[in-house]
A and B are shown apart, each in its own frame.
Chain A
Amino acid sequence: MSDPLRWVGASVRRREDPRLLAGRGRFVDDIVLPGMLHAQFVRATTAHARITAVDLSEVLAVPGVVAAFTADDLDLDDITAQLDRPRNEFVPTAMPVLARDRVRYVGEPIAIVIARDPYAVEDGLEAAVVEYEDLEPVVSDTAALAPGAPLVHDEAPANTLVDVSLFATEGIDDVFADAHTVVRVQTKTGRQNALPLETRGVVADWDDRDEQLRVQTCTQVPHMVRTVLAQCAGLQERQVRVIVPDMGGGFGQKCVVGREEIAAAAAALTLRRPVKWIEDRRDALTASFLAREQRYDVRAAFDAEGHILALDADVVCDMGAYSCYPFTAGIEPLMASAEMPGVYQVPSYRVRGRAITTNKAPTAPYRGVSRPQYVMVMERIMEKAARALGLDAVEVRRRNVITQFPYTGINNITYDPGSYRESLDLCEQVLRDEGWFERRAAENIGIGFSCFSERTGYGSGAFAQRKMAVVPGFDISEVRMDTSGALVVTTGTMSHGQSHETTMAQIVADRLGVPIEKIRIHQGDTDRVTYGFGSFASRSITIGGSAVAAAAVKLGDTLQEIAAHLLDADVDACQLDGEGGVRAGDRRLSFVEIADVAYLKAHLLPKGVEPGLSATASFDVPGDGTFSNATHGVVVELDPGTGGVEILRYVCVEDCGVAINPQVVEGQCRGGIAQGIAGALFEQVTYDENGQPLAPSFMEYKVPTAAEIPDVRIEHLETPCAFTESGAKGAGEGGTIGAPAAVLNAVNDALRHTGTELDDTPIARESIFHALEGK
């Protein structure tokens, strides 16, 4: 190939755009099947109780209602996520598809009601009678851990689902005792909702012809849904086909298996009629999967020159009522514990990470998973150390950041090459060149940074270290060419806004020299795709993209082999010409001519070459994976009259290796940053003392708008990954990870004259107001 990277690296227009812009996408609620019924759920109205009676008789009398089922009626196995850890480290908890004898959060599904239309089904819900014997609710991590606290799960003492103590470098206490300076960060981060704008939903129907339960559901993990549904309903996996239509975002909330999608599918199976469930916004805000409510108490020891000597962390994550499948309640504490030292050279480390269960809606991985929090802690530590030592905070980071790669940290993780120091320098330089350091001289203006890396493309080795019973990691891709030379490519990843129909096609286009218009990506269909773990943890381009590339290369080899035979040339003399053909010297065969032989004149094929043109390849990430990195710089101005925060400037210097499509990468950065700002300044899921949700609408759950989210200047650095097929690293989560720390640091910098430091998020305007009062 003369120009090996023709498509990769170009900001080509997205394949997804025309249909989405014309209103011709197909989202799950757009699907209509003949005779389709509509489901909603009778949900718990109390946070913690024994169910003493469920009476649905009046429900069935409501006009339009067709059926109503309790747990007993559907008789499904529970969903139980597992870690291969001893009982003192992990307590598995069964999550019933419908609550049986006990409810553990407001909104927990108890019964499914099915009616002819979405209005009648809500009439039906109102007629359900559930009687409870209330139990004392546990609504905070501190209450959960208090001696004698009521138990959310009887099998989990001290309401603790995960409790791991890791690393504990020998002599760490002496390091603290002898250190020049010790700083401490105590912080609590608010519970958040990943908040895809499309809520969860499913359309399920039994197909007698295929003898299959067909489940069209908006999930990031179609094969996981298939496995769980087959297990719960006692079906063979073959009897379940999960198809994912266009998806209106996910951000992690849809990368776990939801109880409602299983229940709706089971109802369709029972009724032998199509059943649709579309989650409404109130349920999405109160009863779906949440994330991010964590408490940190972290000490860090420094020498007089600002070198970090030791880190001692206690991390408590409030995971709500249940472990999510497949990740378990360990997802947040295990991520934080394993990765906290991050971009810094930390010689001694000790961490205890706990997952606590409470009577709140359960949690799922949310874009960034713990990294927004622990990065915030580490970046606060750098700022606090700089203040304590009278040093510049960026300089303190410079003295600690990893610069020699590969680097194996105290956390036993090997970091592949990145541009940590370079991104920090460039980000500071950009803000300096734009004159922000002069403007900072004004009171109430502050500049904050965050410097971080994120492991992307966790292979099976990395997930196995977490001791997950289900070990995601690899991906399989098939590339098939038809007689017109067009390609269909399967991937086990699942785009839900990340543009994979475009970027995966770009990768294949370069490997085979075929324009992307001739390449169609197939994803999200368990019958079409051999196997896949879906999209989460910034794995799609690193792992899925590598599998796609490997399969394309393999198909290219076959094309060359056939061409060599037909041209009577040596295989080594044959080359893909980058223009849809194979060339041997001055002779050339187009792919169409080769395909003609492969399918329609198979007698001309060389010996040993099977008819047809397809290739399958898999990819798994070796070792500890690859680390993307970035530095964010933020300038804020505080309003002493209101405590308000205005972001005056946002700069992001990012390095995700080779960017397949730079415009898409920038989109991921900007969108991620918006979500990070949301966590730092706006969004919080709150409950009253009885566990009743206090943010059931967008009036209370304040998703920021264009008036709050600033434009972002993005600068790219490129440290290619040595072992992904295109040199790409993941880009999906970085924005969200870096923003809370940078914003919080900027606010604290603006408060530098007040003596107040704010370490919790979302940052209360009232606290800013009081800090500035009278200053």
Chain B
Amino acid sequence: MKPAAFTYHRARSVAGAVELLVELGDDAKLIAGGQSLVAMMNFRLARPEHLIDIARVPGLDHITRDGDMLRIGALTTHHAVEAAELGRDFAVLSRAMGWIGHLPIRTRGTIGGSLAHADATAEWCLLAVLLEASIEVEGPSGRRSIAAEDFFLGLFTTALEPDEMVVEIVFPRPAPRAALTEYAERRGDFAIVAAAVDLDTDRVVLGGVGPVPQVVRGNQGQDPDFRARSDRYHAGLVTTLVGRARAEAAR
């Protein structure tokens, strides 16, 4: 379980990272915390020829309140969000971090990396869709925003172009009555089913039931299309977890 060889590049700025992405093309991959990527490389399931380390790019690890909005830099770690005082407005984010792996994963893993990796059960993916965040990305032609719901295209597939990187996530409005909960047999595992709800917008987002976070509007996963796609157990888990997330959000 040793990774294949690669060439290592360290980016000093977003522009520099993007330049490298343009230059190296499909053979290159960004690494921030690397908590998913390195494991895949150790199994040789991922074998980029070039690794562009963006962890030291300055200015991407902020958590900033901007009016109603909350801006989080892409290199902010899960643990930094977990430990941050976000007030009641965004406490849902801090609380949800406890579901991400374990502490030593959260100290390295980043919000940008998690979104770009796009695991359909990943907490940040659910939260971004739930709270209708915009994902700020930068590429050779500059910066653009992608609405979270448009960002996730399929299993581990995003709207990010090969030469773009995530730089910031913007949560547009407070979510004082939102919560995320999960079920897995073992603590720290990827959820079998994850559910996130925002009572104020009546949005429900599910993980583990499809290739991307599933938005289920307001009806506790009773959507007939969704139920038809799931077995009874998963459908039952959805009902349970949506109920629990609602209860937690109401507290």
Listed in ascending order, the chain A residues whose CB lies under 8 Å from chain B are: 118-119, 122-123, 126, 280-282, 641-644, 681-682, 697, 699, 702, 704-705, 707-708, 765-766, 769-770, 773
Decide: A705 and B2 in contact? CB cutoff 8 A.
no
Decide: A702 and B2 in contact? CB cutoff 8 A.
no
Closest to B231 in A: A766
Q: List 12 A-B contacts (CB under 8 A).
A: A122-B1, A122-B4, A123-B4, A280-B1, A642-B237, A704-B186, A705-B187, A707-B187, A765-B185, A766-B233, A770-B232, A770-B233
CB neighbours (8 Å) of B240 from chain A are: 641-642
Q: B171 contacts the other chain (Cβ, under 8 Å)? A: no
Decide: A769 and B236 in contact? CB cutoff 8 A.
yes
Closest to A282 in B: B1
Decide: A699 and B189 in contact? CB cutoff 8 A.
yes
- Give complex CA distance A704, B5 in Å: 34
CB neighbours (8 Å) of B3 from chain A are: 119
Q: B44 contacts the other chain (Cβ, under 8 Å)? A: yes
Decide: B44 and A644 in contact? CB cutoff 8 A.
no
- Give complex CA distance A672, B1 in Å: 29
Closest to B1 in A: A280
Decide: A702 and B233 in contact? CB cutoff 8 A.
no
- Give complex CA distance A707, B241 in Å: 20
Decide: B186 and A122 in contact? CB cutoff 8 A.
no
CB neighbours (8 Å) of B117 from chain A are: none
CB neighbours (8 Å) of B5 from chain A are: 119, 123
Decide: B187 and A643 in contact? CB cutoff 8 A.
no
- Give complex CA distance A123, B2 in Å: 9
Q: B188 contacts the other chain (Cβ, under 8 Å)? A: yes
Give the contacts of B230-249 with A (CB-CB under 8 A).
Answer: 232-233, 236-237, 239-241, 243-244
Decide: B2 and A682 in contact? CB cutoff 8 A.
no
Q: Which of B44, B185, B236 has the most CB of A within 10 A?
A: B185
Decide: A682 and B189 in contact? CB cutoff 8 A.
no
Q: Which of A280, A281, A644, A702 is B183 in contact with, Cβ under 8 Å?
A: A644
Q: B151 contacts the other chain (Cβ, under 8 Å)? A: no
Give the contacts of B3-47 with A (CB-CB under 8 A).
Answer: 3-5, 43-44
Give the contacts of B210-251 with A (CB-CB under 8 A).
Answer: 232-233, 236-237, 239-241, 243-244
User: Interface readout for B184-218 with A: 1 if CB under 8 Å, 0 if not?
Assistant: 01111110000000000000000000000000000
CB neighbours (8 Å) of A704 from chain B are: 186
- Give complex CA distance A707, B189 in Å: 12
Decide: A708 and B187 in contact? CB cutoff 8 A.
yes
Decide: B233 and A705 in contact? CB cutoff 8 A.
no
- Give complex CA distance A707, B186 in Å: 8
CB neighbours (8 Å) of B189 from chain A are: 699, 702
- Give complex CA distance A705, B103 in Å: 14
Decide: A699 and B237 in contact? CB cutoff 8 A.
no
A769 with B44, Cβ < 8 A, contacts A699-B190, A705-B186, A705-B187 known = no
CB neighbours (8 Å) of A697 from chain B are: 43
A641 with B1, Cβ < 8 A, contacts A682-B185, A702-B185 known = no
- Give complex CA distance A281, B2 in Å: 11
A-B interface, 7 closest residue pairs, ranked by CB to CB distance from nearest: A641-B240, A707-B187, A280-B1, A766-B233, A119-B2, A122-B2, A642-B183
- Give complex CA distance A769, B241 in Å: 14
A708 with B186, Cβ < 8 A, contacts A123-B4, A282-B1 known = yes
- Give complex CA distance A681, B185 in Å: 9
Instruction: Determine how close the nearest CB of chain A comes to the CB of B174; give it in whole angstroms.
Output: 29
CB neighbours (8 Å) of B241 from chain A are: 641-642
Decide: B43 and A282 in contact? CB cutoff 8 A.
yes
Decide: A641 and B233 in contact? CB cutoff 8 A.
no
CB neighbours (8 Å) of A643 from chain B are: 233
Instruction: Determine how close the nearest CB of chain B comes to the CB of A61; give it in whole angstroms.
Output: 15
Decide: A641 and B243 in contact? CB cutoff 8 A.
yes
> What 18 new A-B contacts, CB under 8 Å, besides A126-B44, A641-B239, A642-B237?
A119-B3, A122-B2, A122-B4, A123-B5, A641-B241, A641-B244, A642-B240, A642-B241, A643-B233, A681-B185, A699-B189, A705-B186, A705-B187, A707-B186, A765-B185, A766-B233, A769-B233, A770-B233
CB neighbours (8 Å) of A702 from chain B are: 185-186, 189
CB neighbours (8 Å) of B186 from chain A are: 682, 702, 704-705, 707-708
CB neighbours (8 Å) of A708 from chain B are: 186-187
Instruction: Determine how close the nearest CB of chain A comes to the CB of B127; give it in whole angstroms.
Output: 21
- Give complex CA distance A704, B189 in Å: 11
- Give complex CA distance A119, B240 in Å: 46
Q: Which of A126, A281, A642 has the most CB of B within 10 A?
A: A642
- Give complex CA distance A766, B4 in Å: 39
Instruction: Determine how close the nearest CB of chain B comes to the CB of A280; give it in whole angstroms.
Output: 4
Instruction: Determine how close the nearest CB of chain A comes to the CB of B40; give it in whole angstroms.
Output: 11
CB neighbours (8 Å) of B237 from chain A are: 641-642, 769
Closest to A704 in B: B186
Instruction: Determine how close the nearest CB of chain A comes to the CB of B104; give it in whole angstroms.
Output: 13
- Give complex CA distance A769, B5 in Å: 47
Instruction: Determine how close the nearest CB of chain B comes to the CB of A764; give it in whole angstroms.
Output: 9
Give the contacts of B142-188 with A (CB-CB under 8 A).
Answer: 183, 185-188
A281 with B1, Cβ < 8 A, contacts A641-B244, A644-B185, A708-B187 known = yes
User: Interface readout for B105-117 with A: 1 if CB under 8 Å, 0 if not?
Assistant: 0000000000000
CB neighbours (8 Å) of B4 from chain A are: 122-123
- Give complex CA distance A118, B243 in Å: 50
CB neighbours (8 Å) of B239 from chain A are: 641
Instruction: Determine how close the nearest CB of chain B comes to the CB of A775; give it in whole angstroms.
Output: 13
Instruction: Determine how close the nearest CB of chain B comes to the CB of A43; give it in whole angstroms.
Output: 13
Closest to B193 in A: A642
- Give complex CA distance A770, B244 in Å: 19
Instruction: Determine how close the nearest CB of chain B comes to the CB of A306; give it in whole angstroms.
Output: 36
- Give complex CA distance A35, B109 in Å: 38
Closest to A772 in B: B236
CB neighbours (8 Å) of B232 from chain A are: 770, 773
- Give complex CA distance A697, B189 in Å: 12
- Give complex CA distance A135, B236 in Å: 41
CB neighbours (8 Å) of B236 from chain A are: 641, 769, 773
- Give complex CA distance A122, B3 in Å: 8
CB neighbours (8 Å) of B190 from chain A are: 699
- Give complex CA distance A766, B232 in Å: 9
- Give complex CA distance A697, B237 in Å: 25
Instruction: Determine how close the nearest CB of chain A comes to the CB of B133; give it in whole angstroms.
Output: 27
Closest to A280 in B: B1
- Give complex CA distance A530, B1 in Å: 38
Closest to A640 in B: B240
CB neighbours (8 Å) of A705 from chain B are: 186-188
- Give complex CA distance A769, B240 in Å: 11
CB neighbours (8 Å) of B2 from chain A are: 118-119, 122
Instruction: Determine how close the nearest CB of chain A comes to the CB of B42; give it in whole angstroms.
Output: 9
Closest to B232 in A: A770
Instruction: Determine how close the nearest CB of chain B comes to the CB of A72; give it in whole angstroms.
Output: 28
Q: Which of A118, A282, A643, A773 has the most CB of B within 10 A?
A: A643
- Give complex CA distance A773, B240 in Å: 12
CB neighbours (8 Å) of B44 from chain A are: 122, 126
Q: Which of B5, B186, B243 has the most CB of A within 10 A?
A: B186
- Give complex CA distance A594, B5 in Å: 65
- Give complex CA distance A474, B188 in Å: 46
CB neighbours (8 Å) of A682 from chain B are: 185-186
- Give complex CA distance A271, B132 in Å: 63
Instruction: Determine how close the nearest CB of chain B comes to the CB of A754; give it in whole angstroms.
Output: 15
Instruction: Determine how close the nearest CB of chain A comes to the CB of B12; give it in whole angstroms.
Output: 28
Instruction: Determine how close the nearest CB of chain B comes to the CB of A731; give it in whole angstroms.
Output: 28
CB neighbours (8 Å) of A281 from chain B are: 1
- Give complex CA distance A737, B183 in Å: 29
- Give complex CA distance A126, B43 in Å: 12
- Give complex CA distance A427, B189 in Å: 34
- Give complex CA distance A247, B191 in Å: 34
- Give complex CA distance A766, B237 in Å: 10
Instruction: Determine how close the nearest CB of chain B comes to the CB of A494; give it in whole angstroms.
Output: 27
- Give complex CA distance A642, B185 in Å: 9
Q: Which of B183, B233, B239 has the most CB of A within 10 A?
A: B233
Instruction: Determine how close the nearest CB of chain B comes to the CB of A359; give it in whole angstroms.
Output: 23
